[in-house]
Structure 1
C-alpha cells in the first residue's frame, strides 16, 4: 500500500519554507530593519548573540513557537533596535549633514560606515548604511596585533558573535583601522593621554638650526658635535623622529652658524660647515647646497674632487640657489613633480635627502629651486601609477573597436585577476581566460586599488563579461573585487577606476556617455555591480 504523501501530485515544501510563508502571512511587529538568513550550524541563541539581543525577543519578532528550531535558509527578522545599521536611500536635497542630523549620528560615523571621505557628496538614489543609535552594539577599531580571539576575550563576547555581526568570512583577515560591531561589548578603549616631557634645562651658548628635508636628529647632532638627547631636551621633543621641514631647533652649545629657515616663499642657504656622510660625493654635496663643484673644491683646497671621506668637514660657501617648499599632492610621483616644475629628478633629489625616491606620500614637503618655472595647476582627479601607465602605453589600442566601458563587481569579498583568470579557463572553459579586460583589487587577494591588465586588453580582443555576444564585441569590461550588494567599493578602488576610465576615454576617443554598468546595459539580467556601487556619484566625478 502506498503512503499517503506519495499519492499527492506534488511534493510538500520543506519546513523552513512553510515557516517563511507563515511569517509572510502574519507579519512580525513593526520596527524591523534587518533580515538574517540562517546558516548551517546556527541556532536562535547564537543568532541573537550576533545582534546583542535576547533569544526570546528574536523568537517573538518572528512568531516562533519552538524557539530552538530554525532551519538553514530560513529568513529571520531582526528587531530594529538590534540592527547595527539602518539602510537609507538618499533623497533629493539630502546632504551628509542633514542625514546625520535626521538619524541622530555624526557625519563622520556615516562616512566610516560607508567608506566615504568626510567631504564626499551624496547623490539621490544612493544607498547608505546609517549606524543605528538605538542598537545595543558598540564598535571597536582594530589595532596592530589584534586578532578576532583577542578582541572577543577583551570585550567579553564570543568570536563567533563578532564574526556574524560583521559578516566576516575569514576571521584571520582583520586590517588595522577596521571598525567592528561588537554585540554587547565594551567598544574601543580611550586613547591614553600623551605624557609631557620634563622641562629642559637652559644651556648656553645657544645657536639655531633650521631643519632641511631628509634631516634626522642623530645626523644634526653629529654635525653640531653634541648628543642628540641635548637637542631633544632643549626643544621639548617628545618624539625625536618627528622633525618638520622648516622647524627651527635650538642647538645648545653648538658650533655651527645659524642656518636660514625655509619659509613658504623661499630662502637662501647660508654659509655653514658640512660633515661628509656615507654615500656622499662632491657633486651631490654641491648640488644639495646650491653651489658649483669648482667653488666647493676652491674653498676647501681639494685637489682631487673624487677623494672625500666620511667625517670630513667641508666649508660650504654662500649658495645662489633659492629654495621653496612644495607639498606633495595625492597621486603625485617624483617624476611628475619634477616635470611640472621643468626640473630633472636629480635636481629634486639634490635638495632632498630621500631614502626611497619611489615612495613619496601626500603631505610630504619637498624643497625645489625657486627659479623653476611655475607649474600648471595639478589635475584634481586621480592618476594611474607610473608602472601601470607604462604597461598601458605599450598596448596598441584599436580605438574604433570599442563603444562601451562596462563596470562590474566580482560578487565575492576577495579575489584577484589571476585567480579569476584561472577559474574562467579551468571551470568555465573560456578559451581566452579572464572574461574582463581589467580587474581592480580591494586589498583581499590584490592590493587595494591595484589595476590588473587582462590578456584580452593586451591582445585587443572581445570580452566575455556580458551575456549578449554583440555587446561583448565592443565593450571593455572592468571588474572591481567585492560584493557591492553588501559593501561599498573602497576609496582606492574608486580612485583607480576613475583614473583607468579617464585613460580609456582618452585612448579610445569615447565620451563619458559610453561609461555604464552591467545592470544598466543589460537591466533584466543582473543587479551587478550591486546597489551599493555609487553609479550616479561616479558618473558625476567623470564629468568634472
Structure 2
C-alpha cells in the first residue's frame, strides 16, 4: 500500500511540474555516469557535448547557477538511443558585435524561440561574448564527414569554414580554440555538413539560362553588392534603375532575395545576363564591361545575409566559374574596387571568407 501511495505521489508531481519538459523527464529516468569538471569547462559546453540542455543538466544536479568549478562531480545521462535520434545538431556560437538573436537564428537555419529554449533565455537580448548553444537545421543522426585540415598561407577560420560547409563556431568548438586566429601549418579537425544538407538553389537559373550564348571570354571578374535596403527584388530594382535613366534597367546580372519581396535565397536572372550586356553596377565603365554583378537583397551594414542567401551566392559563383565560364575569375566586393567610395556589400557580408574561397 505504501509503495502504491509513493508511485501515485510521484505521478502527481510529474503531472503538475509545468516547467518540466519531456526531454528533462527522459534524462531524469535515464542511467547516469559521473563527469569531473575540467579546466575551461562551462555548463554550456558540458551540456552541448552530452546532447543536453543547460536547464536539464542543472535540474539533474540540483544546481542553482551556471557556475561550475574544476574537479566538481556532475551526473551525466548515459546516451539514450531513442532520444538522440530525435534531437537536432548543435553548435556553440559566441555572440559578436552587431549580432541579434534573429540574425544568429537566420544564419544557422533555426528560430529565435528554439535558441531561447536551448539556452533558457527569457528575452531576445544577447551580449557580446555570450556563449549560446544553437540547434541547427541538420538532424543529429545525419552523417558528417570529419577530416584533418592543415592551415595554408592566407587561410582564415572563416574561409576554412566556408570551404567545408560548416561554421567558425563549430570549428572553434571542435578544436578548443578561444580566438579566430590560426597559424600556417596548424592542424584542425573540420566536420563538414553533407552537400545534401544545402538544397539546390540553381534549378531555376539553369532553366532560365539554358539557351544563352555566354560570352565566356568577356567576363573577367565577379563583384558582389548588397541592395542597402531590406525590400526589393529584380523587378522593383529594374523599375527604379530605369527611373534613374539607366537604359538597360536593372544594373546587376543576378539578384538574390531575402524572403521579403522574393524567396529567401531565390536567384533572379536579370536582363543584362540574358542578353549578355555590360553591367551598370559600378562607376567604372571599363569594369562594368567585364564584371558580373551579383546583388544580395538587404542592408548588411545593419544585418547579416541569411544562410540561404550565402548558400545561393556560393552555389551561383561556383556554377558560373565551373560550368558556365569554365575558368577562375577575379572576385571583389564593391567597396574593394579602385575609385569606389562605398561600404557595399556591408561589414556583415563575409568578404574575407569569400576571398579565401575564390582567390
With the shorter chain as reference, the TM-score category is: 0.3 to 0.5
Name the structure, 1 or 2, with higher relative contact order (CA <8 Å, separation 6+): 2
| Greater Rg over alpha carbons, structure | 1
TM-score under structure 1 normalisation?
A: 0.32
